[in-house]
Structure 1
């Protein structure tokens, strides 16, 4: 709920009216005091208890206290004595500044009576402030041609005091040129002025130093000072002047760009812009302006580009110095250039041959050139040379011209390019030199035939090679160049066994690769001797030959060939005789075989592959001899069949077999009897023979007759072969005592045997001869065969 508005009662209204009356009464009373500034704290100002009509002890009872109108309270009450005293040190200038009167107002409150009394305290000034200028030093300017009576305003001084303690007067230090005048302003401030009494001359005295003093009227008198510097401004009453009318300098021509040559000095006693000089070239051509630089402020002359004695030996120029008032002076400058050895000699080619044939004659001119040096004197004297290890020389001509000549015949294959360095050096100190290189290319002539790296070549090829296989590659080198070095290869035309070599091999004319045109057979062709020609493409062409030995290597492509026993053409087998009385190791026969291959491919070994009576016979591993292993027994069959295998040592090995028939008997009749008994199963005397037995007997007779005929044919064939061997190799009958017979360097052991079979056909009688083994070192002749034991066998 809102509180109801408060209503004023009569008592409260009465108190309000009494307070307003008290305030009115308070405003009507005023207490005044005066006190000097800067008094100590607690200094007596006035007896406030007495002025209020109270006793000192009543001050506390009535609640009397000071009520200040400002935040700072300057005064306080002493209740014991009832006095008003200063609360702190009072500074009048801080409170009232330059006011003529300084009044501080505050109130005295009597709380019990709700009365207020006004109090006013006047702060009296004391002379506690010096007159003070704002600056300790002041600079003023005046022109040296200013008229007498010219006034210069000076800074004034300020004094914080008032009245008689304030600033009263100024004083000026003694000076013949200036006097002091003081002007009072409408604000009561005094303003000092300087007044010119005599003309000024800046060149004699440019600055006048004065001292001005400000004085107040206090007791004692206080003062303040400031220094016045009167700057006399210059008037352009003096022209510039050079220290010399002509400047000379001598410099070498190789000084760096930017080098300072000399400094021109001109003076002007004037000051400021009137005495500030600027330097410049006067009426100079563009060459001077491009070569030299003049500092307009310092008068320094330096180079902007390199000097060249050969271009200009001296430079003459005029320099002007001008002040700010358009007054000027001029001076001559002579720069002499000294020659130094700064130009290296140069080579100027007039005529040049860039290529020369290697067959040119000595003394051929290669180049014509001229040497030049821009320096003079010894600096321009030149010596020209080339390296001594070259086949060239220099010959001097007129006007520093030189010829470059050859001194001997050139060889392109030894050196194809020459870089001839021409060195020219002058006689300066230090000497300068220049090198110029002339490149000369030596062109080729066809003066070198192609050359092989070896005097002869050899290579090998395995037989049965594929057609077109690459065999060997030959390379010939020709030191010439271009077409003179383009080599082609060819085979020299030749034959082997009446066949052109070109049918066996061919050569690639460009690459020198040798190819086989056909498959070669070692057994027919062991080696080929070829001549290869390498020819260049020069004009005329040159060529060279080299020999190439082509060896054909053997392959195991031939099986062993059995020479003995020879196989009959009708498919029958031969018969060898072994007596029953033969001791173990008895030589029954010998298998002789050869191999058309060579090396291990022709190395043969023998072994017994099959026997009708195992363990009865053996075969020599390397000799092929068939010998008995044990004693022959009666129970051993008359006919023994042996199968002997002959194998070489090639990879893979090849072999051949032969079937031997051995007849076991002591004599030929026994052989025949045994053969008849074997072939006739029943007696022929049986009168009860049936037709089948008659036919069987007839068949046995036919078989026997065929057997005899076969033996005869084999013998005749063997005899015919022996005749052929005798005709081609001096005959087997007269063969040397060597016990080895072989082919292609591989020999087979062969002991001598002689077997002769003869057959006669008179009265159905056959003549069969079984010779005894012959242990001689040679094969028996035909005459010895005639001496063999013969046996006549009659038909039953």
Structure 2
């Protein structure tokens, strides 16, 4: 075989020892690359499972890498004749191969088998073997020949059929030896061979009334096969005018969709004889079985009609011989050729040879989704097919090679907008009218983590009443993720807050799965009123995506604090110290003012003041919102000197909380006048506590020490001075206004905790300028002790109150 020319020549002369039949396998390939096409020549009728060739080796493929996805074997048509052994790489036969059934009378019979390996195509032609002998449709041929027939008269004989092809088909005819007839073999335009029986010598009915000849059909195969037919010739009386057809050859074109019973054509023959010798009968004499199934001939009028529906894809043309025979036995023949015209009666066939589903939503444009095979059994334009998509989807379809199309992505995909597509592919041929086929595939789009969790609101505000139970849920946040499965699995966490003093975990926690926020402790509005935190929602993708939201928590005040009295200060029994009111006070005189505060806020901290009890209710009034206690009228002589008032301070909460304070008032013009009333509490007050007893005892002890110190000081002074003068720390008149031991502001009812009773330094200097230093020391000690006694008294009074 020529390396570059492809010519196959004999390398030596044929020898007797050589086999008669040979099988050749030819390989066509380019330089250094896998072959573009492979052609195998095989005999028909191979057994199933027979090996055609090692296609993996011829393609240069690694057998270990073969798989039904890497290499696919596709045969056109409805029958798959070949398959691939993925372990050995051999191509083997899966169905019976009959050349005559597949190709009929075509000169070259090829079975196209496409191997999809990186778009390489492979072809497999099938070689014919001589497995059929020529065969006559009739084993016996009866001829009526008039004795008047002249030498040279021709009689068409039945022709034989041989389904084989080429040299194995019918080659010639042979006639048994005789003195009257010879054979003249001819070839028709369709390549079929037929024989005419030619009269060489005139017949004599009187000498020989019949003849018996043997017609032999011979093919060219090795070994040679033959078929025979018996020719019986009956010599008749003279009928010197045979029928004559108007045409020797009738040709007609017929569409394959011609209805059953429709007229194909009408043959016509005439006879110049008269009587029975002119009566013509039409007979189909030389026709194949398939032609005889499709057409019928009216023996009287010569009309040929359609007997069964025609199929261009099955048989494209038909040939028949029509015999016209008169009543005298003379016969003539004509030939009829019927061409079938293709109709667009086959819709395209669409096959998805490979589909990738699901497709990731981040697939770049141009990603191959599916490989589509399209085939149309029609011919010419009727068999040309174009594919397109029906819907406006982000996909496109492109022609690949040899009736293959690729379905590709045309633009970016988004699973969150469209999770799946029903892609309808329409294949339309170019016939008139065009036929189309639709095929739909469901394409799933797989998810990638391209969406971060999204909260429903840009920020959240939560309101929590104070004194909430520990561990209670106070709020809940929710984020959604448009992705799927793990990519949409959201977990929550707290990133930060503005609570800097204490760890965040001691105040707040969050459920990582539900987003519920829990209080770890009870909140106190009076401790802090609001705080904010950053909550993060993170999905489970790789890498994970997250988003944050601010949650601001406001603590709502509850009425959990009762009012607290700031003034006046109260004792252990809830009573305030005595307040002195001048007897001369007129109506509206401000006796005192109750001052209270509430740690709550808002309505819970709005305070109101009420006078619950009074010794003389008509004598006093109290401001509802100011807490001021004033005289409602002037003091009368009949009124009691000492009064006890119980006041209530109440907030505006629900339920309201309150506190009471008891005030002791004494009507007197000075402290000396009020002191007996203040000290006499046996009838009005409850028994004093042990603490008061000890305080009185301490006061008596201190008084004793004070008197002892004063006595010692006087004795020392008398020893050192002949003219002792009485040291006056309290002024000339202890009970006068000018020399009073109480501060000037006593009249308004306010007394300080301590008061300096000693005179000013200038007064002492004038009165005691004659004293010696030791006496001055005694004076200083006396003044100091006096001040100390006054402080102890005031402390005692406060504790008693």
Larger Rg computed on CA atoms: 1
TM-score by length of 2: 0.49
TM-score, with length taken from structure 1? 0.49
